Chains A and B, each alone.
Chain A
């Protein structure tokens, strides 16, 4: 190559061709992560639900139960864990606040979820808890990894403090977004009472003394956008019962909560819009730019060769020299 234009084109061709795999397999895995300081809230509603009246310990039908879920990235805590873990960590301090139809608190359960910012795999460190109980979380919670696969995952259930498979059940279209549908069933399981009860004077310990136990089952459904791994919609068919003990008198069991929990409409719209924009960013790094750069690299290389070939016209002293036969000595 002798021409300046051809050399510049060649350099650009190599630049773009090299950037293509670098972007997909080096830059993307490094920069695709959950920001440590992320804050998000979510409102879910269960209409025509059944709720326990803690005054009389009888079940009642209510028009609506609202669940406000907040996740707040604790940057200081994540930086502290990163020092020993040696990788990017996210610490989410969460609160699930359940409110009855009259605005009264039904329960509030705090949670600390520690995970790898890139893979969303749980990380075990001091402070990992649900409702103040230390736990060792396995599996996913709240979010799937980037580039979610069509397979079953392990998902952590905060109520039962157990990890169970969440099954991939097919690909669907949700409001114009291609999503993977996942479903998990937690069978009837005895679970601890919340530390904060809706009636003053009743605590987890005082209830335990009566011999009454709390049981729970749920069918958890998630519609996950696979590129970002973000759920765009979620539902739960959730049932809780109190069983046995002196609190219930001669009754064997009473429903503490039963309802079909769904995301509130405005939050669905907000989530879908947000996921659509983030999906574009991930696709840019995993598909559009790598393929575009590779194509551009090939095009520039072809152009460089063309410029070079045009420069090597017959009669050109350099090209004549190159094609002239070498003297042979015997």
Chain B
């Protein structure tokens, strides 16, 4: 029984971490203030 509880805890933690990573990874950011270029940049 204790082995089953330990395995279930491991499984639950794995799912919790996976959900947390996907939530953290869904930030969108902002539109860059930089313009669409009409001059040749000197470097990247």
Contact = CB atoms under 8 A, between A and B. Distances in A.
Interface of A: 1-2, 7-8, 10-16, 18-19, 22-23, 26-27, 30-31, 35-39, 41, 43, 66, 68, 70, 72-76, 78-79, 88, 93-95, 97, 99, 105, 108, 110, 266-267, 270-271
28 contacts: A1-B3, A7-B6, A10-B3, A11-B7, A12-B10, A14-B10, A15-B10, A15-B11, A15-B14, A18-B15, A26-B18, A26-B22, A27-B22, A30-B25, A31-B21, A35-B28, A35-B29, A41-B37, A41-B44, A68-B37, A68-B38, A68-B40, A68-B41, A72-B32, A75-B30, A75-B31, A78-B28, A108-B38
Contacts of A18: 10-11, 14-15
Contacts of A266: 43-44
A79 B43 CA distance: 31
Contacts of A93: 36
B17 to A, nearest CB: 7
A70 B40 CA distance: 11
A197 B34 CA distance: 25
Contacts of B28: 35-37, 75, 78-79
A19 B38 contact: no
B34 A39 contact: yes
A95 B36 CA distance: 6
A43 B40 contact: yes
B39 A74 contact: no
B20 to A, nearest CB: 10
Nearest to A285: B21
